[in-house]
Amino acid sequence: MKDHLKIFAIGAGGSGMSGLIRLLKSQGHTVLGSDQSRSEKVEALRKEGVSIYSEHQAKNITPDIHEVIYSQAIPETNPELQQALKLGIQVLSYPEALGKYTHDKRRVCIAGTHGKTTTTAMIAACLIVGGKDPTVIVGADVKELGGKNERLGHSDLAVLETCEYKKSFLDIPPDVLVITNIDFDHIDYYKNQKNYNNAFVQYMKMVPKDGVIFYMKDDLATKKLLMKIKGTTIKPIGMEPLVKLTVPGEHNRRNASLAYNVARFLKVSDAAAKMALNDFSGTKRRLEYKGTVKTGNRQTKIYDDYGHHPTEIRATLSALRELYPTEKILTIFQPHQFSRTTAFLEEFTHAFAQTDAVIIPNIYEARDTAADKDAMSLEKLVAEISKHHSNITAGNSIPKTILEAKKLLGEYDVIITMGAGDVYKVADALV
């Protein structure tokens, strides 16, 4: 992009948006924005000189702004979005903007229901250690990216985490596509598994004939959909026994196997790829170690994790149990969306086998209707899980759960908070 633009980002603190803002700044554009949260990402951007309004107001959008980019969490009724349309300013969604501002790169896109962020970060680490100097946008802060979620490289390679929500990944055509797995999610948008699968098939079909698609060969759901793809190179990957990891869990070994093979395809040496994966320490809010609290004779380790789908919960707790095979583990899990909780109720009841106790503080509301909230409650969820787990209680709010967790510190060796909402506040309060 030769022209330097003035760009306004609505929802500036979003996991991808904050990285895109830094990418745009590095390309010489002037970026400002808005976000109602006071999250770490928002505060970090402010410290870097990005002006971010704390309220969404029409007056923030002035006629000298060339382009407005909005997070997909922003409703159509947002006053800034409405004002931009009224003024005739070009409006782009986050994925449309990411597609636009990386169009001159060879895009390595990572898609799938689970493991996108970690796999993206692992591939990025391999390429950085391998001297490939990639541009990277990923959905969480990564140590290998200097504690940020983006990196501006000077090569033609871009490693991008892409999301299926609202089919947004279709705005970011891949040259190399990595499918971590396909497992129904985002039920509020897709309504059924068939619609969800069809979106992935659409994305697979965007890979050019000289491109390539990587997937785990034992992932039968992905394999079945790939049978609809003709003329594109497809690389089925097995578990890579050569790769040694410091991050635990079968799911991470799968992510690493994909990353290792993608790196080799992109001409990274075996030694560099193995070194990068061996040193990889994980990403923020993915089984993230927060600290240790001493209570009497017991040292309790505190972890935090973003997992909110039953498959993710099982994988994370399995990895935690791998680290602590005999220790007492307390899981504080906050479901994300009433609609998702209803849809996956049966799966949730079987997701906590690897933990000694469970507290559910509340159900985090996001894009839920009145009917969604009528169909599900905290009490109903606890009652259903209690049929399969003998030690589960309702926390009845984040503040009350914090108080309860502090009382329980001396009883557990490990406490993990899990969820995509604000349950991380419990972990923060403990350490």
Higher pLDDT, 283 or 378: 378
Sign of CA dihedral 424, 425, 427, 428: positive
Pair 309, 401 in one domain: yes
Residue 92 backbone dihedrals phi, psi, to 5 degrees: -130, 140
Pair 93, 149 in one domain: no
Q: By mean pLDDT, which of 12-21, 87-96, 213-222, 255-264 is the weakest?
A: 12-21
Last residue of a domain, one of 98, 128, 161: 98
For residues 394 and 379, is the Cβ–Cβ distance under 8 A? Answer: yes
Residue whose structure tokens are 């009528």: 374
For residues 167 and 140, is the Cβ–Cβ distance under 8 A? Answer: no
Residue whose structure tokens are 């209690």: 386
Q: What is the token pair recorded at 146?
A: 């200097």
What are the distances in angstroms from CA 59 to CA 8, 87, 93, 365? 12, 11, 20, 29
Beta-carbon contacts of residue 103 (< 8 Å; ≥ 6 apart): none
What gap in Å lies between CA 21 and CA 50, rounded to an integer? Answer: 9
> What is the overall mean pLDDT for the chain?
93
Say if 397 falls within a structural domain.
Answer: yes
Helix 116-129, helix 250-265: angle, nearest 10? 40
Last residue of a domain, one of 44, 66, 98: 98
Q: Which DSSP string corresponds to 104-133?
A: TSEEEEEE-SSSHHHHHHHHHHHHHHTT--
Say if 46 falls within a structural domain.
Answer: yes
For residues 383 and 349, is the Cβ–Cβ distance under 8 A? Answer: no
Pair 311, 400 in one domain: yes
CATH number at residue 20: 3.40.50.720
For residues 413 and 327, is the Cβ–Cβ distance under 8 A? Answer: yes
Say if 1 falls within a structural domain.
Answer: no
Say if 151 falls within a structural domain.
Answer: yes
Say if 386 falls within a structural domain.
Answer: yes
Q: Is the pLDDT of residue 206 over 90?
A: yes
Give pLDDT, residue 38.
82
pLDDT over 70 percentage in the chain: 100
Residue 243 CB coordination number (10 Å): 20
Residue whose structure tokens are 């129904």: 184
Pair 204, 245 in one domain: yes
Q: What is the token pair recorded at 88?
A: 């005739």
Full domain range(s) for residue 20: 6-98
Give pLDDT, residue 184.
84
CATH number at residue 413: 3.90.190.20
Candidates 287, 430, 415, 423; CA nearest to 364 is 423
Give residue 96's identity as a one-letter amino acid code.
E
pTM: 0.83
Q: Is the pLDDT of residue 231 over 70?
A: yes
pLDDT-derived band at 284 (thresholds 50, 70, 90) equals confident
Give residue 36's identity as a one-letter amino acid code.
Q
For residues 284 and 139, is the Cβ–Cβ distance under 8 A? Answer: no
Candidates 83, 165, 97, 167; CA nearest to 137 is 97
Give the strand pairing for 148-151 and 176-179: unpaired
Last residue of a domain, one of 46, 73, 98: 98
For residues 211 and 277, is the Cβ–Cβ distance under 8 A? Answer: no
Give residue 17's identity as a one-letter amino acid code.
M
pLDDT-derived band at 281 (thresholds 50, 70, 90) equals confident
Pair 275, 140 in one domain: yes
Helix 94-101, helix 17-26: angle, nearest 10? 30
Beta-carbon contacts of residue 342 (< 8 Å; ≥ 6 apart): 372, 375, 376
Tens digit of each residue's pLDDT (9 = 90 or more) over 286-305: 889 999 999 888 899 999 99
pLDDT-derived band at 187 (thresholds 50, 70, 90) equals confident
Pair 270, 129 in one domain: yes
What gap in Å lies between CA 352 and CA 342, rounded to an integer? Answer: 17
Pair 152, 275 in one domain: yes
CATH number at residue 200: 3.40.1190.10
Pair 158, 17 in one domain: no
Say if 302 falls within a structural domain.
Answer: yes
What gap in Å lies between CA 144 and CA 281, rounded to an integer? Answer: 8
Pair 314, 334 in one domain: yes
Pair 236, 109 in one domain: yes
- Total domain count, the chain: 3
Pair 297, 261 in one domain: no
Say if 390 falls within a structural domain.
Answer: yes
Give pLDDT, residue 227.
95
Q: Is the pLDDT of residue 211 over 50?
A: yes
- What's the whole-number mean pLDDT along residues 324-348? 95
Beta-carbon contacts of residue 384 (< 8 Å; ≥ 6 apart): 345, 348, 349
Tens digit of each residue's pLDDT (9 = 90 or more) over 347-395: 999 999 999 999 999 999 988 999 999 999 999 999 999 999 999 999 9
Tens digit of each residue's pLDDT (9 = 90 or more) over 111-146: 999 999 999 999 999 999 999 999 999 988 888 888
pLDDT-derived band at 1 (thresholds 50, 70, 90) equals very low
Give pLDDT, residue 73.
84
pLDDT over 90 percentage in the chain: 80
- What's the whole-number mean pLDDT along residues 76-102? 96
Higher pLDDT, 122 or 240: 122
Q: Is the pLDDT of residue 161 over 60?
A: yes
Q: Is the pLDDT of residue 47 over 80?
A: yes
Give residue 400's identity as a one-letter amino acid code.
K
Pair 153, 92 in one domain: no
Say if 348 falls within a structural domain.
Answer: yes
What are the distances in angstroms from CA 311 to CA 55, 308, 402? 36, 8, 26
Give pLDDT, residue 55.
95
Give residue 402's identity as a one-letter amino acid code.
I
